[in-house]
Structure 1
């Protein structure tokens, strides 16, 4: 009776006690239930509700994970809020799981902030049969438009000339490489998706690239990681709502392009990926279960822009940074000569059937891989990895070791800014 009187006299205490009780009940109701047949790998003991968040540096998460791997081995489990995550560290472990057994880890984890944007559609974070069909269609279409062939080299060479012209316009003065390099990468995607490139000062083009850069920046913040750990608090204001607003704006811009292509569609003149998608949708118009609909089209286009633009531009900007920091490398910028004896340039851009600078970019990508934001695979069947049982569901986050550059240079990870 005295306890009830105490709560009745203090409304704030009553509210806080009710919230705490509600959170505890929610935790015990929805917390992951370990499978009796498949026990997850060992890891640090989690606390109720927050899991292991109190021991992790959310701004430099990879450092915390590498420290834990020293204690728990190359495969261990952590809990981010209510979600259990299996962490794979080291090249051999990551390759064994994600390459040698790729089929078992082909599914993508359902990350709340990404599910909020894609709803399971598209290429990067789609699920099930929809993802399989979109991936197959996109790869075939990209090859038809020159991916991996001479035709795409020509587009890259053309865009490189525009980028060089922009750089020369600064006349040797310092400038931020983010916007021009990102615009060049985005234009190569535009030439395939829309069938044409844009002027770097085009308002719609600048808006799309700006929204993509902003969303990638926001996705790396600790606030979004906290939302992923506690998605049931999504009704509260936060960074995740800004990401969704940006995505909604991008969807509207892409739908405008889609409507224009729909009006001028000619099955005898397929000029872009959007045209190919619209034609495929017509062919499957009688199939009620077809995955070729507006949601998949818009989400796939955004995925191509986000993945192709951010990763490639980040690679080139890191390469420029290394070249500026280590002048000795600048003395011989065609690094191909160090790896291919007898290599001779046929023209300023290409050698034989392979583009020298394209190969050089792939070389940089291998060493700057740790700076890229990657989707998180998840196991979709019950399996065992290095003696540990993995049931369908837990995400597998890879944390490969960095590879050194010539001279002992080791690429730092992408900094996360608030």
Structure 2
């Protein structure tokens, strides 16, 4: 069958190893995570509630604080960007009709707390405060993440905020990464009441994927941050189809996909990612890329199935990357044991391999191995997270009881190695021969 080149551009006029024979993606930006649609679909109830949080700013009144929570990919960030853009546009229009002394000034500081981690892969109020300071300063005048007393950093942050005008809206995305250090979450929403700022009004919006983080907030922080709480529920399969259809219409050429394409991508995202629109959109994009690579005129089921496998691989690697150093060392020990044919392995065998791994990085980290009991606590967490399986052995009264451990079906040595590389950690070869049971 000949292709209609008005629908699928054929790249035969370009001699490049990077070109495909056919292109199905018309506008890849629409399938990116940072894309803000002109309309937020399937979120009418939460949008109405969320709009009320922004109304006081539009009216020139003190801002509200809000806490948003829900699973990954349910529209929290997209809705926030959408309302922010609309608020800034509408304020600009309103100011055109107001005298200069009555005009509204809005400054937005958007911080992703996950980006401000220390060497031990943890985030603190201190590090996020440093991030806010540096977001407000020019490159040549930024401060480092070490060397300052915490109160000095907070003082600098409030000085920078107070140098702005009107309302300052601080959006803390992935706010749960701050963990137990809630100093910033308590003080920032109350900064004007406390007297830390005089010239501006500060509003704070916290966005979290972690339900337990909200429950574990101290009462004083809840009073400050959670003035309004908005829960974003997971999308159902029909809602995912509606969202994906709207994106596909803008992103792909006509004829590059079918209703079955949308339905399968939506169904897989609903089943495997708790109704995540982000997963559905990623799946559609990767499916279209695979179809292009294969020279196909249309996204087919086989392309979607392969894309699903690709994304699942990446998700596991990302999850491993998120683990602390001790858990990474344990997974590395299991990877070496697995490649040597020594799994499933008993706890003491894993500890011996883990100790060799830690010693191999000692010149860089200066860390010593944990005791077997200390390591076992981390190993138990890896079992709970689904990275490791435990096999129970019971030989009765005379034979004894013991446990062995091995990778779960979702994890293998290559994924662990990829995670190390994503964390910019060198993959050192560790000899586990000679480890005795």
> Which bin holds the TM-score, normalised by the shorter protein?
under 0.3
After TM superposition, the score normalised by the length of structure 2 is: 0.20
Q: Return the index of the structure with the highest Cα Rg.
A: 2
Q: Given the two structures, how large is their TM-score scaled by the length of structure 1?
A: 0.21
